[in-house]
Every structure is written in structure tokens, then in C-alpha cells.
Homo-oligomer: A and B are copies of this chain.
Amino acid sequence: MTEVITAVYEVSGDDPEARAAGAAVEQSHELPTALAPASALVSLARVVSVERSAGGPARATIAYPVELAGAELTQLLVVLLGNISLQDGLRLVDLDVPASLPAAWTRPHPAVAGIRRLVGAPTRPLLATALKPVGLSPEGLAAQAYAFAAGGIDIIKDDQGLANQVWAPFRERVAAVTDAVARANAEHGTSARYLPAVSGPGALFEERLRFARERGADGALVLPGISGYDRICVAREVFGADGILYAHPSFLGGFTAAGSHGIAPDVLFGLISRLAGADAAIFPSYGGRFSLTRVECERIAAASSRPFAGLAPVLPSPGGGMTVARADELVGVYGRDVLLLIGADLHRDGALRENTERFRETAERLG
């Protein structure tokens, strides 16, 4: 018997059985079965079950022959939601794949345990921040990085809006910031790691990663909504088993902003991030500037570490307007295996180092 990829969809509307049957064909044959040659039926997906629920969407489970994904992450995404992403009333809400499938493209990577080792923090909540805004000079950003590192932050990333603009071109920025972080770590006995944002188009994507690695960056912030999830695997090839790859949700929100289509946030930020081999994944936490509920966020944390396809956990990284004052609450909800991402709140009063020290003290107390 062939192995299968199992996907669960929430289905709205009057006839969920018909919609599920349509989705199974759309996502495998894309041709009415009656018109498909018999020899091709081997690749047809199958509706396993449709469970109706009173007052809510039905849940349809579809089994796809694993060969449909062709052992490629890109094609797996096509199979799971390619065409039906265009249909309102179908939402991908759960997922399982045989371990052999991601084994074809994932490589050893730090994941949660490795990040803890790299920053020397075996148990406490982990801390991230962002260099911003766009418009600052490399020196200005490097000064921020020095203050954050001296204050005891674990991960410093570029703002997702930092690319290769005239105010702080990529190479100048990466050179200035890696130097500043190394100096702060040496002078203060800290272990901050710097992840530049790399969204660079075409061949520049890999070229920038190589430059960053050679210049001493510890990994990268990758934007799979902009660059494609497979670019996380490209970044892994460059950075190897010790590189920290941090996934940012930029341009992915179409999937999560409404409940009736797209992808459930826990599947997107938890499971799909793990399939791509990300070490940590940013998502917009409840109680910030974005739309997710607390329940959705708790599910993201659960999907980040539950057994799934033989894959390592990903570190959930709630962001989007978090504050140090909320760290206790956030750790209560997400647990200690979390990478708290706090941006603006660490900039308050221009006291970046002091604010970071307070953030770190809070984490030590909670660890």
C-alpha cells in the first residue's frame, strides 16, 4: 500500500461532501476522473472522511499518494493548497506526512536545542529583537546591535524591511553589525547572534547569504512568503548545521487573515515552518498589532513541538507589538521554549541596553 499525505480541511457551505470530492480531484488530477486514462488513476487523491458539525464548517480529510509531492517541498505545497487556495470556504487545518518525505530535503539544523546551545541558555525563555527602522545608517544600526548584545539579548535580526536600500546597503550593514555584535560579546561576555534579513532577488539571495556567512553572521532572517519556502533550504545549504534560520511571516498573511480559507496559523507557522527546516518562526501574537486570537496562538505553540513527520521542533516566536511587561504572561501561554520577539518596546527612551537588561532579567527569573 502506498504511503499518503493526509490533509484536513475545514469546508464551509451546504454540501461539504461534494466540495471535498472536488478538492481531492483539483489537488491531484485537476481533470474529471471520467476523462483520466486508467493508467493515471494511481495518483488520484481520496476523500477519507467528511465530518459535519452543527453550526460550524465540516472537516474533510483527504489522502494524497505521497508520490504526488515528488519528494519536493515546493510540490508538496502545490498538492496541499495550490489551486484550492483560490477557493473561499476551504481551509487547511491539519496535516501529516510520512517522515520519508521531508527527509528528502531537510538537513541537520540547530532547532530549539541547538539555538539554546549556541546562546548558552539551556532552559530560560529566549530573547530576540530587531534593528530598525529602515532609513538608519549602518553605523546607527550597528550601535543598536551593540547595545542589544551588551544588554544580553540572544538573537538580533534585521527588520524585515531592511534589504539593500541606499541608507544601509546590505554588505555595509552586515559588516558593521557583525563587528559590533562580536565586540559587544567580547567586551561583555554575552552570546548574541546576528541574523541579517535576506530577501534578495534571484541569484543575489544566495550571494548575500554567502557574504553574510563569510562576514560572521550566525544565520539569516528569511521571508518565505516573498522568497518561497524552498529558499529556507537554500539558506540551509549555505549556513550548514549551525546556522540559525529564522522565518518571518511577511506577505504570508493572506493565508491567515480570514478564517474561511487559507491555512490555519498553527499549520502555517508551526508545521510548514518545520517542513522547511526553519529553526524559529515569527508569528503575530495575540494582544499586539495583528489579528490572531490567543487560542490560535496556543495552537501555534503546540504545533511547533508536537511529534510531526520525524522533524525537530521549531521555536515559536511571538511578535508584532510585544512588551517586556507582558513577558510573564507570554511565557505562561507559550512555555519556556519560546523566542520572545520584542522590537519597539526595547527602543523606549533610547535606553536600548537598559531595556534589554530588564528583558534578560525577566527571562532569567522565568527560566
Contact = CB atoms under 8 A, between A and B. Distances in A.
Given A26-B289, A43-B165, A83 B136 contact: no
Nearest to A170: B70
Contacts of A159: 30-31
Given A43-B167, A203-B234, A81 B251 contact: yes
Nearest to A78: B250
A67 B167 contact: yes
A317 interface: no
A86 interface: yes
B254 A78 contact: no
A67 B105 contact: no
Given A30-B133, A226-B74, A291-B87, A79 B348 contact: no
A241 interface: no
B226 A226 contact: no
A250 B74 CA distance: 11
A323 interface: no
Contacts of A252: 85-86, 254
A140 B41 CA distance: 13
Given A82-B250, A258-B261, A35 B347 contact: yes
Nearest to A291: B88
Interface string A240-273: 0000000001111111111011110000000000
Given A133-B28, A161-B28, A202-B233, A261 B257 contact: yes
Contacts of A134: 28-30, 40, 43, 68
Given A231-B228, A258-B88, A78 B31 contact: no
A250 B165 contact: no
Given A43-B133, A72-B164, A78-B199, 16 more contacts: A22-B289, A28-B161, A30-B343, A31-B133, A31-B344, A40-B135, A44-B135, A68-B161, A68-B165, A77-B226, A78-B163, A82-B160, A85-B225, A86-B291, A227-B228, A254-B254
